[in-house]
Amino acid sequence: MSEVTERHLRILEALLFASKEPLDANSLLAYLGEGADVAALLLELQSRYASRGVNLVRRADKWAFRTAEDLGFLLRREEQETRPLSRAALETLAIIAYHQPATRAEIEEVRGVATGKGTIDLLLEAGWIRMRGRRRTPGRPVTYGTTEAFLDHFGLEALGDLPGLDELKGSGLLSNRLPPSLQIPLPFEGALRDDEDPLEPGDEDLEDNS
């Protein structure tokens, strides 16, 4: 392997180790210069770390070093002490993940009970869901979707890696009363759907009365 390639690999290695957040290929390319094949370099670096204590993993379209799965029990990240998610929050998160973009009314339809604003706020503060836009229906309700932080926290490369609904129901996370429309989502997409309008300035600070 050429000296240039090895230097590029060392640069990528240093950048990814130093970053607190996953990085995308375009961000990394800025440090390598035009002509560098970032995709191939990342795959080579991933291969080199495949059997080590840390692995290079992909989260949506970004990359990060994470503790190898079989050694996760040895290390703990320093985290602020927080209350565990309630069953309502876990169910809401699961429904958004599998049914996004979803409005609060659609979440309530699946769960069969009202969803308090505090539950949505908790997931927003955790960084696992985001306000995507507003549905083009009466009342223009806010639509919610998952974030890249959600993928990273749960060790998913893409939404298509989510467990099947049968497995999810078997874990007790969702009840068996699921509508036929609840399906495995398409791979992660940040773009709005045809039935959504973009958020307007200040929307994030408004009460969601949908």
Give the pLDDT of residue 120: 92
Neighbouring C-alpha atoms within 13 Å toward the C-beta of 13: 14
**Helices of type H across 114-204:** 117-126, 148-153, 165-170
* Sequence letter at residue 114: A
Q: What is the pLDDT of residues 147-163, one digit of tens each?
A: 988 888 888 888 888 87
Provide the whole-model pTM.
0.61
pLDDT above 90: residue 197: no
Q: Residue 181: which residues within 8 A CB-CB, separation 6 or more?
A: 99
Least confident of 21-25, 36-40, 109-113: 109-113
Q: Residue 112: which residues within 8 A CB-CB, separation 6 or more?
A: 175, 177
Domain 87-205 bears CATH identifier 1.10.10.10: yes
Q: What is the pLDDT of residues 118-136, one digit of tens each?
A: 899 999 998 899 998 899 8
Four-CA torsion 163, 169, 170, 171, nearest 10 degrees: 70
Domain ranges of the chain: 3-74, 87-205
Give the pLDDT of residue 73: 54
Q: Which two tokens stand for residue 52?
A: 């080590």
Architecture of the 3-74 domain: Orthogonal Bundle (1.10)
| Closest by Cα among 107, 109, 133 to 119 | 107
Same fold, 3-74 and 87-205: yes
| Closest by Cα among 145, 148, 149, 158 to 187 | 158
